[in-house]
Amino acid sequence: MKPRVTIVSHPMVTEQLTLARDKRTNQVAFRKAIYRLGRLMAYEFLRTLDTEASTVETPLGRTSGGKVKGDDKIVIVLVLRAAIPFVEGMYKNFPMARAGVISAWRGGPPDFPIEVTYAKIPRIMKDDVVVIADPMLATGHTLLEVAKRVMEHGRPKRLAFFSVISTMTGISYVAKAFPRAEFYTCAIDPGLDERGYIVPGLGDAGDRSFGTPR
Ligand code: URA
């Protein structure tokens, strides 16, 4: 089965992605770009939710209207630490979302072992829409481990992964275990380097947002 991938494309997405990729972009501007990309991706994702038709009285008459249904069923899972500004932006368009937080540290090649040291995940209901947010979907090892941990808390109606930049290697790796999952990304880059970083990518998203740890 082919992975279900949506490339979120919009001139504003291109602009913010270009800023985020640019090595001259400083920490504050980088975080702002990731925040804006989260907001834009959430906005686009709202198209996939149902809407409820209604009518509305204006001061001058009556017309048709509607509202988004099910935005209170969204559960965002924030993968520390790179997803902090990304999720902050998503909240602008998912204000009713419940949230989970998970820390996943990825070791080096060839196995890229994942160490989860903290996980606070809400109970997942069967009509929930779970969105796992990590700006970089590189090898897929982190997201696969995170998704497995999240699924221990219940099976949602939909499972979506939000990443700013992905690779097909990473998407295929996660999709093998979660074939019905949906992948939303702003770009699919061609490669990975020997450390598992996306090339050309944007570098280390956590370091660029928050500085390099000593
Ligand atoms: N994590 C990052 O921050 N960047 C990559 O390119 C891959 C994983």
**Closest Cα to residue 200, out of 16, 12, 11, 17?**
17
What residue owns the CA closest to ligand 1's atom 5? 197
pLDDT confidence of residue 212: 83
pLDDT confidence of residue 159: 98
Q: Is 136 in the pocket of ligand 1 (CB under 6 A)?
A: yes
Residue 103 has pLDDT above 70, yes or no: yes
- Give the 3-state secondary structure of 168-203: HHHHHHHHHHCCCCEEEEEEEECEECCCCCEECCCC
Backbone angles phi, psi at 168, to 5 degrees: -70, -30
Per-residue model confidence as pLDDT tens digits over 172-192: 999 999 999 999 999 999 999
| pTM passes above 0.85 | yes
Mean pLDDT over 132-144 rounds to 97
pLDDT confidence of residue 93: 96
Q: What percent of the chain is predicted at pLDDT more than 90?
A: 92
Q: Which amino acid is at 211?
A: G
Residue 214 has pLDDT above 80, yes or no: no
3-state secondary structure of 151: helix
**Beta strand ranges found along 48-128 (DSSP E):** 51-58, 61-68, 74-80, 98-106, 114-120
User: How is residue 146 annotated by DSSP?
Assistant: H
Q: Which atom of ligand 1 is nearest to the CA of 206?
A: 3
Residue 136 has pLDDT above 90, yes or no: yes
Sign of CA dihedral 31, 35, 38, 40: negative
Substitution site in 37, 81, 139, 198 for ligand 1 pocket (most atoms within 8 Å of beta carbon): 198
Residue 148 host element (H or E): helix 141-151
Q: Is 17 in the pocket of ligand 1 (CB under 6 A)?
A: no
CA distance 173 to 161: 13
Q: How confident is the model at residue 110 (pLDDT cuts 50, 70, 90)?
A: confident
**Do 125 and 24 contact (CB within 8 A), yes or no?**
no
Per-residue model confidence as pLDDT tens digits over 111-129: 888 889 999 999 999 999 9
- Tokens representing residue 110 in the block: 């060839």
Q: Is 82 in the pocket of ligand 1 (CB under 6 A)?
A: yes
Domain ranges for the chain: 4-48+70-203
Average pLDDT, the chain: 96
Q: When comparing pLDDT for 1 and 177, which is higher?
A: 177
Residue 1 has pLDDT above 90, yes or no: no
pLDDT confidence of residue 107: 85
pLDDT confidence of residue 213: 73
Per-residue model confidence as pLDDT tens digits over 52-80: 999 999 999 999 999 999 999 999 999 99
What is the CA(19)–ligand 1 centre distance, in A? 16
Q: Which amino acid is at 99?
A: A
- Which CATH code for domain 4-48+70-203? 3.40.50.2020
Substitution site in 80, 103, 197 for ligand 1 pocket (most atoms within 8 Å of beta carbon): 197
